[in-house]
Structure 1
């Protein structure tokens, strides 16, 4: 793989909260990592679910090369359209201008009817990405922090009887938004209608590497728990969404240019900021994701696709 020339560095892993997040220093992500460094970062991800790096200098090619040391890099997004850099289709840019281009003029995310938009990336896919790597190019002087929550800790915090109840349940995840419903003529409405994504995933997912059980629902994409009445589903999802939003399970990350967040998309949810649109200064970040596996529940049964293909490298 051409990585044998890499030399070990002295990585420092500093946890940032009781359950979630660690800051890793002492490494240049633009250089090939040693096997020991890869293992240190993987181990930190298994424990803390998201790791952060500061002061990195990465162009698109270097960000993709960094991610490729941990898995196969996917295309930018199932609904990327023509907004990815032509030579780097793996890059998904997160900025107000990018969203306007991708989804329609003056697109703005609306508040989810299920409350704050905690989510894992693209869970309506049959195989949601295993990891996401987000790099900050420009950030406003304040505002725009991203929050992350450890959903393995959320599961462990539930009463045993509740854990036993949700272990056997499955839920539908579907790609749609309130913006889509209200403005169906916008680009995203057309994209979702012509290429719908929907899957039924276990409510509790067994992590394929750590074997931990995680709460695998989120208020952005999970529409209903199947085989329950609508009212039963709503109450149970509300309970789980309230637990996901408890501050003790979360960490809040303040971006700086050159900051990187690398999270396990199977064990962490994140919350995009809504507090910076009135603040002067651009906010431009670039994300890549790694090919994921099909979720499996405690009963050993895998997810089922309703609509959409396996999401892998182009």
Structure 2
């Protein structure tokens, strides 16, 4: 853990490096989110600019670029400056066949029809509580992605905003007794947690069983770069806190999820065509909008994820895979 003095010195050094590299960094909220200006992501970035952007991601958890002209290849090339892009084994038909690292999120609109539901029903069965939609990307894996780069191609004239929450700020905002309590806990993360099956035969429920992924993660993970403690909870993947009874686990998780998504720990981004968001998937959870599909306007987004590591807890104990994933294997 860093002291306030060390943190202030580091922030001053980062501001100086950004000025020297000709990069503007404008915070968007008090704890999380910053807009980066003065950078054309289609150009070859200097090592200095890469270092400034990476430091901003670690400091602000999610950074935004507007007015970019990236294509699929440029998107992957930019992401590769910060890590190794993931090649997802399964993508929908809207994703580009010749660029395997890119997922097109319009694929999500295909899922309801594929499993015999319209999109609204499929979404409602996955998000039947207010906090259920909050997630990090692929959080049920033993090695969730380290970061995600999301690019907007087409967006509706209104609606479709994405919100991110800082898990570092959420942990720091807990009282000292609660921090001491959660530091030693672990939680089971499982794909499809909370999905409400349709009566009778449910093709999506069968799909979840056939592709099950589950891991026991520390409830508080330590960031491998910044050393920050992160409240590693989300509504989409966490099944229960191990070692607690079901009622105890439900009550504690509800409290922690409400803590993680408090408005002061969040930032909301209004997308435009050409916008790019780059976030630390270890230190954030996000809420994809549920309103855009109902507006009847296209919302086409392209995603590249960076390979992550196995999380470790405060005591140094790593996450333990239960089924469906192994480190580095997608």
> Taking structure 2 as the reference length, what is the TM-score of the superposition?
0.87
Residue 186 (structure 1) shift: 5.9
* Residue in structure 1 matching 2:178, options 162, 167, 188: 162
Structure 1, unaligned runs of 5 or more: 1-7
Residue 301 (structure 1) shift: 0.2
Q: How many residues align?
A: 306
* Residue in structure 2 matching 1:20, options 18, 22, 32: 32
SS state at 1:32 partner: coil
Q: Which residue of 1 aligns with 2:109?
A: 97
Counting helix residues as a fraction of each chain, which structure ranks higher? 2
CA 1:94/1:14 → structure 2, altered by over 3 Å: closer, same or farther? same
SS state at 1:24 partner: strand
Q: Which residue of 1 aligns with 2:12?
A: none
* Residue in structure 1 matching 2:96, options 55, 80, 85: 85
Q: Distance in 2 between matches of 1:145 and 1:233?
A: 31
1:140 aligns with 2:160: no
CA 1:35/1:185 → structure 2, altered by over 3 Å: closer, same or farther? farther
For residues 234-265 of structure 1, the C-alpha deviation after alignment (integer angstroms, 9 at most, x for no partner) is 11101101101210000000000000010000
> Taking structure 1 as the reference length, what is the TM-score of the superposition?
0.91
Q: Distance in 2 between matches of 1:70 and 1:264?
A: 11
Which range is displaced more, 273-282 or 238-247? 273-282
SS state at 1:136 partner: strand
Q: Which residue of 2 aligns with 1:128?
A: 144
1:181 aligns with 2:197: yes
Residue 275 (structure 1) shift: 2.1
Which range is displaced more, 175-184 or 119-128? 175-184
SS state at 2:278 partner: strand
Q: Which residue of 2 aligns with 1:109?
A: 123
Structure 2, unaligned runs of 5 or more: 1-19
Q: Distance in 1 between matches of 2:56 and 2:115?
A: 35
CA 1:109/1:311 → structure 2, altered by over 3 Å: closer, same or farther? farther
RMSD: 2.1
The answer on whether the counterparts of 1:147 and 1:271 sit within 8 Å (CA) in structure 2 is yes
CA 1:313/1:26 → structure 2, altered by over 3 Å: closer, same or farther? farther
CA 1:191/1:80 → structure 2, altered by over 3 Å: closer, same or farther? farther
Q: Which residue of 1 aligns with 2:81?
A: 69
Q: Which residue of 1 aligns with 2:326?
A: 310
